[in-house]
Structure 1
């Protein structure tokens, strides 16, 4: 990698982080005179936006969050290859989760993660989306869909790393890492579910 390419990579990663940091849920809520931080779950993401602002706005936010991951990853992949796309994709997700515009707060990164995967490996995104949809239909709980979708990323990663699915080691490690980030963002949901089951 020459110096010009290294600077291009660094610029792409920074740009992706800043784009990912933009929070459509918070911006739309403010335009509508709402404060997501003090409404619903308090999370500035698509699910809470749908809960507080209405399903239509939740869908709009979800689409915009997907695009935050999709566009930078797709562009980086076509300009510099898959490895650059992986770096840009994780930057967009981390920007969404820890937005400097929201003083380090952010959403849980599910939609942006889906967009990042879609930008470089559409077939994996399809698998994750199907698992997410089935889990939500069965449990009626969006968080469960997100958790099972993240677990599906881990399963695909293991299949890649063991040679049972197309992709190199970097692909498998990236999917495993980005899936782990989503799981960690949902640890409170898992703990809450466990406590409910235990008490029940």
Structure 2
């Protein structure tokens, strides 16, 4: 293992995740700190809620890209001979997790970020694109029907875990299967406030067909 390359790219993965997309979009185009409005999170869901469809879509796309790019740094490690082929999944997960932590605790925004759902999506897209493709369809269907990003995110996360139990989606490494269920649990845990609002009927819906 080439430790300097590995450590450098791990730090880069965190820094990529730390790009505060929602905060910068809110400040640059709307003159506001997104963390002071709506749910207080600097993520795509709150951007949809506060700023509307177009800014929310932009933030979500960039946050997904952050997770994908950071996770793909493990491929760079492999190409540079810094890690072995059998270590690839472990470093993909490490890079992806660091990106998610960067999104939640961004060094460029006073360590106050979002929940990391879109960044997790990008991370898993780099690791298991077929499974994530189906989960995206689940997410979009739930969003179209209910217009709750939180509910759609949790459902897609649970779908990712359950799909891996089926032969067409079963991973070669059982670590990914375990991680899928841990991820689903974490998504539910980080959305516990949203769950309370959903049960109370006070959760905000996103404006799919509005003018914003």
Fold equivalence (TM over 0.5): yes
Name 2:19's counterpart in structure 1. Answer: 22
1:186 to 170, 182, 191: 191
Q: Return closer, same or farther for 1:178/1:119 CA change in 2, 3 Å cut-off.
A: same
Deviation at 1:154, TM superposition (A): 2.2
User: Contact 1:25 / 1:46 at 8 angstroms: preserved in 2?
Assistant: yes
Note the residue ranges of structure 2 that are not aligned, 5 or more in a row.
Answer: 79-87, 203-212
Q: Return closer, same or farther for 1:96/1:68 CA change in 2, 3 Å cut-off.
A: same
User: Contact 2:171 / 2:177 at 8 angstroms: preserved in 1?
Assistant: no
Name 2:72's counterpart in structure 1. Answer: 74
Matches within 5 A, 1:139-150: 139-150=146-157
Task: Deviation per CA, 1:12-53: give whole Å up to 9, x if none.
Answer: 222111210111110111112122122222221112223333
Matches within 5 A, 1:1-200: 2=1, 4=2, 6-32=3-29, 33-77=31-75, 79-80=77-78, 81-157=88-164, 159=165, 165-196=170-201
Judge which range, 188-197 or 120-129, deviates more.
188-197
Note the residue ranges of structure 1 that are not aligned, 5 or more in a row.
Answer: none
CA–CA separation in structure 2 for the residues paired with 1:106 and 1:184: 17
Q: TM-score, normalised by structure 1?
A: 0.85
Judge which range, 116-125 or 43-52, deviates more.
43-52
SS at match of 2:172: coil
User: Contact 2:18 / 2:99 at 8 angstroms: preserved in 1?
Assistant: yes
User: Contact 1:68 / 1:115 at 8 angstroms: preserved in 2?
Assistant: yes
Deviation at 1:196, TM superposition (A): 4.5
By relative contact order (CA 8 Å, sep 6+), the higher-ranking structure is 2
CA–CA separation in structure 1 for the residues paired with 2:163 and 2:174: 12
User: Contact 1:109 / 1:182 at 8 angstroms: preserved in 2?
Assistant: no
Corresponding residue pairs, total: 192
SS at match of 1:13: helix
Instruction: Flag the structure with higher helix content.
Output: 1
User: Contact 2:17 / 2:70 at 8 angstroms: preserved in 1?
Assistant: no
SS at match of 2:74: helix
CA–CA separation in structure 1 for the residues paired with 2:168 and 2:36: 47
CA–CA separation in structure 2 for the residues paired with 1:107 and 1:156: 26
